[in-house]
Amino acid sequence: MRNIINTKRKLITFDWAIKRLLRSKANFGILEGFLSELLKEDIVILDVLESESNKDNKIDKFNRVDLKVRNSQQEIIIIEIQYDREYDYLQRIFYGVSKTAIEYMQEGKAYTGITKVISINILYFDLGSGTDYIYKGTTRFIGLHDHDLLELNEKQKQLFKKDSIESLYPEYYLIKINRFNDIAKDTLDEWIYFLKNEEIKENFTAKGLKEAEKKLSIMALPEEEQKAYEHYKDDLRYQASMFESSFGDGYHEGEAIGIDKGIEIGFEKGIEQTTKKIGLKLIQQGATLETIATVTGLSVSAIEHLISTEP
């Protein structure tokens, strides 16, 4: 007996859904389901917030997707999807959370008005060293001598409307998709299975998945959207291949002068190859030199060289 829906009804990747579909209030139920399963509470989304990273463009560098939403508790949730290695990623998400917290603090208000930010990072590469596939990061204060946990007093609980110091500070979730072994032990795992395989098993019961199965079917897209989606998937595979091959070449080149240097060279080569790929696409689309330079950061002479060497 088959447990998985027909492969012809494969579902849209989550990053594409965020770019094209999940920003609509009519589809909030899908996103609310995922967030509710991850955060272990019923999440209600009030609205989608503007983000400088909210670019609906197939040439977004490294396929990063930021979605900022505000929930019914006035907390801001950032969802980011990352396909390619980024060695300073932990520092970058810290920067993004800090910037968001300050950005949404009203000028002249007391510090009690600082917005709680939750950072959810869906990663398709292995970040750091660890055996789990979901990590949660919070802030706690532990006594150096008594090893007790610092708690809010009753007045502070009333002021902040929170029960713990930990709940005042940002939360970070790192979901390492490639670490998941495809065995869904609970409803959160059912969502991770979907994120990894773009499929939903018939017996899955996680919040939001049934709605996702209906609305995120590739076959439900208009024909033009289906073509755009397939083109996007091809681009994604090409970029992954280019990055891996460039990283490997650079790593081996750098082995003679040390592993760290090899990693650095590989990373730089991956960026260089991806940038050139973007430049070539823009050239083929007839973009002006100024536009290509702005998007890629390449010099005009480098762009002219690309044009002269294009087959």
Residues of the chain with pLDDT under 50: 1-8, 54-63, 251, 259, 263
Mode of pairing for the β-strands spanning 65-71 and 45-49: antiparallel
Beta-carbon neighbour count of residue 194 at 10 Å? 24
> What pLDDT, on the 0 to 100 scale, is given for residue 272?
63
Rounded to whole angstroms, the Cα distance separating 141 from 150 reads: 5
Contact 30, 17 (CB under 8 A): yes
> What pLDDT, on the 0 to 100 scale, is given for residue 59?
41
Domain ranges of the chain: 7-220, 226-309
The Cβ-side half-sphere exposure at 299, using a 13 Å CA radius, reads 3
> What pLDDT, on the 0 to 100 scale, is given for residue 5?
39
Specify the amino acid at residue 220: A
Q: What is the pLDDT of residues 49-63, one digit of tens each?
A: 876 554 444 444 444
Q: What is the pLDDT of residues 81-105, one digit of tens each?
A: 988 777 788 998 999 999 999 888 7
> What pLDDT, on the 0 to 100 scale, is given for residue 311?
57
Residue 143 burial (C-beta neighbours within 10 Å; 0-12, 13-18, 19+): exposed
